[in-house]
Amino acid sequence: MDWPIAEVARMSGVTARTLRHYDEIGLLPPARIGAGGHRYYGERQLLLLQQILVLRALGVGLPEIGRILAEQVDEVEALRGHHRRLLAERDRLDALAGTVSRTIAELEQSRKDGRLMTAINRPENLFEGVLPSQYEETLRDFPEHVVEVGRRVASMSPEEVEAGQRERTAQMIRLAEFRAAGLSADAEPVQAEIDAQYRALNSLRAVSTEEYRVIGRSCVDNEAWRAAYEAIAPGLAAYQRDAIEAYVTSTLG
């Protein structure tokens, strides 16, 4: 049985325009093309579409999906591999949800006690469950930076990685306090914090103006990173983005 493109779009939630794009790039050709150029899809194409959507949900880009589909021989074995990836992603999301939940609990308790956020004795590692690959996707246009960061992280001990993550959490908390105090994103104390972040990045590798701007935008555009910021305080992701944008404009030119 063949299904017309409109029916496949309805069943899968993928727009007909996207399905046509998948055909144009050779990722998912239809089973046949009928009168008037209408595309029809068979059972095999639906199975391939399922794999494409699973891999997309896991953050895999279309070129890499094309390579995966081209290299696989056995569909059942391929689905087993996707199943393993989904289970790993579930575990990662569970870890991230637990991290955010613990942070919320600590923040709520600190407010009840009348303490500032910086008074949290052991702030939870907000980046637990956030994969480096998500950061790499944000900076896919700057592969040299991704490679250098990966190389540095690989040479660090677990204790050093943990210390770095906790410092980033502390930076987020300091920015949240500036925002709560009513300071604008371009205020001097905020910009001093952003300058320190920029210098820390440059200690790994020289970061261009455009790279730093993209990093700032990723605080909002990258779902996992945005969730980490918003766990500290609503609106913090946009505040960090705006502070970086102001820094890039005024300091980096």
The tens digit of pLDDT for each residue in 126-182 reads 445 444 445 555 555 556 666 666 677 667 776 676 667 667 777 888 888 888 888
Overall average pLDDT of the 103-116 stretch: 64
Residues 67 and 139 in one domain: no
Any domain includes 81: no
Residue given tokens 């540095």 in the structure block: 152
Any domain includes 139: yes
End-to-end CA distance of the chain: 60
Mean residue pLDDT across the chain: 78
What pLDDT shows up at residue 118?
A: 42
Residues 62 and 178 in one domain: no
Residues 61 and 125 in one domain: no
Which of 72, 105, 126 is where one domain is finished?
Answer: 72
- For 236, the token pair is 């913090």
Residues 141 and 224 in one domain: yes
222 three-class SS? coil
Residues 221 and 151 in one domain: yes
Overall average pLDDT of the 72-99 stretch: 71
Any domain includes 107: no
What pLDDT shows up at residue 248?
A: 94
What pLDDT shows up at residue 211?
A: 86
Any domain includes 102: no
Residues 182 and 237 in one domain: yes
Residues 133 and 57 in one domain: no
Q: Number of folded domains in the chain?
A: 2
Any domain includes 101: no
- For residue 206, CA distances in Å to 87, 126, 148, 195, 200 come to 37, 26, 10, 14, 10
Residues 143 and 199 in one domain: yes
Any domain includes 202: yes
Residues 139 and 58 in one domain: no
Residues 138 and 245 in one domain: yes
Q: What pLDDT, in 10s, does the model give residues 4-55?
A: 999 999 998 889 999 999 999 999 999 999 988 899 999 889 988 988 888 8
Scored b (16 or more CB within 10 A) or e, 135-171 reads bbbbbeebeebbeebeeeeeeeeeeeeeeeebebbeb
Residues 125 and 248 in one domain: yes
Any domain includes 30: yes
The pTM assigned to this predicted structure is 0.49
Any domain includes 95: no
Which of 48, 72, 96 is where one domain is finished?
Answer: 72
Residues 239 and 162 in one domain: yes
Question: Which residue range is the domain that position 19 belongs to?
Answer: 3-72
Helices (H), 58-74: 62-71
